[in-house]
A and B are shown apart, each in its own frame.
Chain A
Amino acid sequence: MAVPGNNNRMVTITINKNQYLAEEGEIFLLTAIRHNIDIPHLCYEKALEPYGACRLCMVDVVTCGKTEMTPACTIRVHNGLEILTDTPQIIKHRNLLFELYLAEAPKSEVIKEMAAKYGVTKTRFLKKIVHDDPLQGKCILCGLCVRVCEEIMGNSAISFINRGPYTVINTPFYEHNPDCAGCAACARVCPTRAIVCEDIGESRVMHSWSETTVALVTCPECGKSFAPQRLMEKVLTKLEPGLIEKIKNLCPECRRKYFTRKEIHKIPLTDREP
């Protein structure tokens, strides 16, 4: 398959009756974003395989005069591709989906802002209220956290629990999970900022994931706790061996200082500014 960014063939595609040049094989959603064509989306992340669960990026693909609704994150660009992003049908369904999201994650400011941008400010559906929700009533179950934990970090510390309308995301049996590396990649990719974690002293507490607590590495230079221990161990195996000895336990800031000092010392004393 053609990989975007690798000098692929440029092809002509039609979006809303206008023609654009696009790279063959690229995911259409990214092409559209680059051309400033607005398509709302929640579950797409470049680093992961398309998942197609949020259904907000549905667009019409026109083939031989017939249209078919398809998520933009699953369409690969090819020559002659024709897309409509704002037909009355698309807008109608998208607005109703926004209403469903507003009911599902009533506490999410991100969802409220996104929906408002498309003119949806209230929902006709019963709002979901969960007391003591570890995800603060903001989770829309897009699955990005679960996927990043499994596919990128290789930890699978969290997963979907139950099914259908009872689906939630958490650690197995809602217990403290030793598989969690504490990398907080989940919190980073969460589109609605639902995941809560906090660094307290020498540990990181994943409040949303059953208070899973991981130890942090403390910088011997400045005494600041800066990264989860297990994550550090993993990262260190990937560095050049000669490089690591002196700096491996330092926090990023002290590392910068170390290299700056080293560079400064290379300059002969006479050339240094007084």
Chain B
Amino acid sequence: MIIRSQADLESIRKRGLTKIQPNHPRIGIGVSSCGIAVGGMALYHRMQEIIQNNSHDILVVKSGCIGYCKEEPLVSVYIPGKSQILLHKVSIDDAERIISLACKGDIPQDLALCRIPDWDHITGNLVYGDGFESVPDYGEIPFFSHQKKVILRDCGLINPEDIDEYIGIGGYFAAFKALTSIPPDTIIEEVKKSGLRGRGGAGFPAGLKWEITKKAPGSEKFIVCNADEGDPGAYMNRNEMESDPHMLLEGMLIGAYGMDVHEGLIYIRAEYPLAIKRLTLALDQARAYGLLGKNILNSGFDFDIQIATGAGAFVCGESTALVASIEGKTGRPRLRPPRLTEKGVFGRPTDLNNVETWCNVPVIIGKGAAWYSAIGTKGNTGTKVFSLVGKVDNVGMVEVPLGTSLQTIIYDIGNGGALGKGVKAVQTGGPSGGCIPQRLFDTPVDFENLNKVGTMMGSGGLVVMDEDTNMVDIARYFINFASSESCGKCVPCREGLKHMLLILNRIIAGKGTQNDIKLLQELSDTVQKTSLCGLGQTAPNPVLTTLKYFIEEYDQLITPEGR
């Protein structure tokens, strides 16, 4: 069926809603990569088997990840008219019990994590119902209560492999509104007004980039989604694509319409096979509904998206290397200018945005720039998704308004160190970021304040270190990563990082001297100032920040002979 009118879209929305809230029990199994890793897929198959063998009137579907990765596999149970219940740490042995209880309109209380009486999908509001009062409310769980879900609004609640469910909660309505009633320039104006900044780490105003791309000379242009998320410990984009792929497609569709671009590309790393699979499926479903292709929504606008997979290089997340990789060349950065907006994919003007940047677009258009810019702080509007990992108690995907303090994220949401240990530091921004000591945890997380303490937002990885972590070892880990991912084009990055690693190895082996620390400092400075691309320019940050905040740990490794 091709969607041509509001009525068409409305009829699919109704169908989608009956899939989310059917008149018989619905069980959703969290099968994002995190859920699958702890047996989610086996659980899904087991449940399907039980239902088929007993011809139960129960719907078992796949769902994404709601973010509480520590509690996976998470299972949502909806009994018609009652609150949706999230079950946690479900094992395959629980399958039979969950189903037989669901048949009776009940749930296993011992596995219940929380209940969801209603949910604000932002694009639409869903009321599930009351009941199961003994189970804590969603808002009473500290991990959830401090979060604000805008991008992750659907994650874990809808089936990512079914476009109907996305439309069911109001998806593609923003795109419909845009394509049928908003002039393209107004779209760009709206995104500019929203204050949305690039979520890939640099924080460049997205609307401005769109405008520059649109004004660039040339009729054939590209928009590209950067899904080459490669920071160790960061998996926000993976979850966004695995749990709610249509959110990304809708964002790109609206952006393409605003910029009057007809070709889109998603550059995704090959290490994300499930995300690739779900995106491919989502693209097929969107094409089948006429949401991609020719004359989309009967508006006369043509647009389609192709997937380009990477081949395993961190540096391909850098814009010019990414373009080289798409063109089939070795992923090596080139000099800028010219910027991508001037000369991008195959020499044509290209707008490149991160997955999460695109994901913000549907709600900005759907709810308006004023609604969006009220979230966060001035100059840093909206929310940001972080993957809270490392030695923290509550590991998972966290979404908070920009400007939220690290304290809130690590202690209120993350519940402090794992196994009750004290937290020593947090690494933000992956190998390009730095380590922030515990005493600076009142730092608000936004683009400027993180830069002030010597680190950066990056794409959103937060790696927590506890009292047992050796900070010199952390610095070595990241330098080793950056050095092995260096493309080898310019000398500071290729040779400088190699020697930084050799020096750090020497220090950790107890063979370092005070001169080594001095040389390390000197070399970090040169690599930072003279490297060609962002990888080299930011790679010394873990060393510079650990030298600044944890110098005593370096000193402790220097033997008396080395002093």
Contact = CB atoms under 8 A, between A and B. Distances in A.
A164 interface: yes
Interface residues on A, range: 20 to 34
Given A55-B530, A126-B502, A100 B492 contact: yes
Interface in A48-70: 50-55, 58, 69
Given A53-B532, A69-B530, A100-B495, A167 B488 contact: yes
A162 B335 CA distance: 21
**Residue of A92, A124, A140, A165 with most chain B CB atoms under a 10 A cut-off:** A165
Contacts of B490: 52-55
B497 interface: yes
Interface in A159-206: 159-160, 162-167
Interface in A125-167: 125-126, 140-141, 143, 159-160, 162-167
Contacts of A69: 529-530
A96 B529 CA distance: 12
Interface in B253-298: none
A164 B499 contact: no
Nearest to A71: B335
Interface stretch (B197-205, B437-445, B518-526): B518-526
A39 interface: no
Given A55-B532, A167-B494, A93 B486 contact: no
**Residue of A125, A164, A167 with most chain B CB atoms under a 10 A cut-off:** A164
**Residue of A53, A89, A167 with most chain B CB atoms under a 10 A cut-off:** A53
Contacts of B495: 100-101, 103-104, 125, 165
Given A50-B335, A160-B330, A143 B489 contact: yes
B496 interface: yes
Contacts, number: 87
Interface string B533-553: 000000000000000000000
A51 B335 contact: yes
A97 B532 contact: no
A74 interface: yes
B529 A165 contact: no
B492 A164 contact: no
B530 A166 contact: no
Interface residues on B, range: 20 to 34
Given A100-B496, A125-B499, A141-B494, A165 B519 contact: no
A269 B485 CA distance: 75
A125 B489 CA distance: 19
A103 B499 contact: yes
Contacts of B519: 124
Given A53-B489, A164-B487, A167-B494, A93 B335 contact: no
Contacts of B492: 55, 97, 100
A173 to B, nearest CB: 16
B494 to A, nearest CB: 6
Contacts of A141: 488-489, 491, 494
Given A96-B522, A164-B486, A140 B497 contact: no
A55 B491 contact: yes
Nearest to B492: A55
Contacts of A50: 335
B488 A160 contact: yes
Nearest to A164: B486
B477 to A, nearest CB: 16
Contacts of A54: 490-491
Given A53-B489, A53-B491, A164 B483 contact: yes
Interface in A81-107: 89, 92-93, 96-97, 100-101, 103-104
22 contacts: A54-B490, A55-B531, A89-B529, A93-B525, A96-B522, A96-B523, A97-B530, A100-B492, A100-B496, A101-B495, A124-B519, A125-B495, A141-B491, A143-B489, A160-B330, A160-B488, A163-B486, A163-B487, A164-B498, A165-B486, A165-B494, A165-B497
Given A101-B491, A104-B495, 11 more contacts: A96-B523, A97-B530, A100-B496, A103-B495, A104-B491, A125-B495, A125-B502, A141-B494, A160-B332, A164-B488, A165-B498
Interface of A: 50-55, 58, 69, 71, 74, 89, 92-93, 96-97, 100-101, 103-104, 124-126, 140-141, 143, 159-160, 162-167
The 7 closest A-B pairs by CB, nearest first: A167-B488, A164-B486, A165-B498, A100-B495, A96-B526, A52-B335, A53-B490
